[in-house]
Amino acid sequence: MKDGGICLLESAAIDTKKRILSYEGPTVFGGGSKKDLSRSGWNWFIPSSTTLSQMMTDVGYTDVQVGKIVGGRVFAVGKRKIHVDIMRGGLSVRNIR
């Protein structure tokens, strides 16, 4: 994403005002049979609205707006001001981007 671009994000979400990031992993399926949902890894991290807003802000988005959670899903939109790394710890190549 270029600086100044608009990001529309859809995610699974936890309906709470608390700052929570849940983890389910690749074996949890939300509906249908396991065969129907053969692409594993759907819900690795599931944020609350508060957490999603903070995550977007932390990586350089402004004017972040997070909608209501409906059916366990949420939409958020934000404008990228500048690239900000979410984490660099553990990288063996320091200037990778």
96 domain residue, yes or no: no
Residue 32 placed within a domain: yes
Identify the pLDDT of residue 27.
66
Q: Count of domains in the chain?
A: 1
Q: Look-up: residue for tokens 């690749």? A: 26
For residue 59, tell me if it sits in a domain. yes
Give the confidence band of 92 by pLDDT, cuts at 50, 70, 90. Answer: confident
In one-letter notation, the amino acid at residue 52 is L
pLDDT for res 54: 95
**Radius of gyration of the chain, Cα coordinates, nearest whole angstrom:** 15
In this prediction, residues 75-84 reach a mean pLDDT of 95
Would residue 73 count as lying in a domain? yes
Sorted by sequence, the CB contacts under 8 Å of residue 3 that are 6+ apart come out as 80, 81, 82, 83
Residue 56, token pair as written in the block: 């977007």
Specify if 94 maps to a domain: no
Q: Residue 67 falls within a domain, yes or no?
A: yes
pLDDT tens profile 23-58 = 877 666 666 666 666 555 566 789 999 999 999 999
Read off the pTM: 0.77
Both tokens assigned to 81: 């001001």
The answer to whether residue 16 sits within a structural domain is: yes
Mean pLDDT over the full length of the chain: 85
Separation CA 11–CA 83 (nearest Å): 21
- The mean pLDDT of 16-21, rounded to a whole number, is 93
Q: Determine, yes or no, domain membership for 1.
A: no
DSSP state, 17? S
- What residue numbers bound the domain in which 16 lies? 6-80
For residue 4, give every residue at least 6 positions away whose Cβ sits within 8 Å of its Cβ, in sequence order, or none: 79, 80, 81
